[in-house]
């Protein structure tokens, strides 16, 4: 009986563990790139530099618009993006269905940008 309980506890803990081997933060739901016509945010910077900038690229725009500078990290940047979206008169123009936000992280130390999708208001407890 004790053996069965131990096995049950092990199985349950494995099921509750989000993305146990992926190395992906649990806040990120996937890494799919934005398609044409999808709005996305661009976060530029890295820990070595210590300063992050946030820009937004809306459908129909030819250039991204810088909306924040001097942020201290990627999570701070995402919290800032959440507050920016929630404070806008038309927040739907920044998000996909199911309140999914797309961001592209441009790190000067990496060759390629990293794309992330996350759900607005559920990740970082800022709202």
Per-position DSSP letters for 53-73, written without gaps between them: EEEEE-TT-SS-EEEEEEE-S
Q: How far apart are the first and last CA of the chain?
A: 45
pLDDT digit string (tens) for 6-65?
777 776 666 655 544 445 556 677 788 888 999 999 999 988 888 999 999 999 999 999
Residue 83 φ/ψ, nearest 5 degrees: -65, -40
Question: What DSSP assignment string belongs to 1-28?
Answer: -HHHHHHHHHHHHHHHSSSTTT---TTE
Are the C-beta atoms of residues 104 and 113 closer than 8 Å to each other? yes
CA distance 48 to 107: 10
CA distance 88 to 78: 15
pLDDT digit string (tens) for 73-111?
888 998 999 999 988 888 889 988 888 999 999 999 999
Widest CA span in the chain: 66
Are the C-beta atoms of residues 43 and 105 closer than 8 Å to each other? yes
| Tokens matching residue 69 | 């500078």
Write down the pTM of the prediction: 0.74
């Amino acid at each position: 009986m004790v053996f069965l309980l131990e096995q049950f506890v092990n199985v349950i803990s494995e099921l509750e563990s989000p993305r146990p081997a992926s190395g992906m933060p649990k806040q990120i739901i996937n890494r799919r790139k934005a398609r044409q016509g999808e709005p996305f945010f661009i976060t530029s910077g890295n820990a070595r530099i210590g300063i992050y900038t946030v820009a937004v690229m809306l459908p129909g725009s030819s250039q991204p618009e810088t909306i924040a500078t001097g942020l201290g990290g990627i999570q701070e940047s995402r919290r800032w993006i959440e507050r920016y979206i929630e404070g806008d008169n038309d927040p739907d123009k920044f998000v996909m269905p199911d309140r999914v936000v797309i961001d592209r992280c441009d790190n000067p130390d990496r060759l390629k940008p990293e794309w992330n999708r996350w759900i607005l208001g559920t990740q970082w407890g800022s709202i």
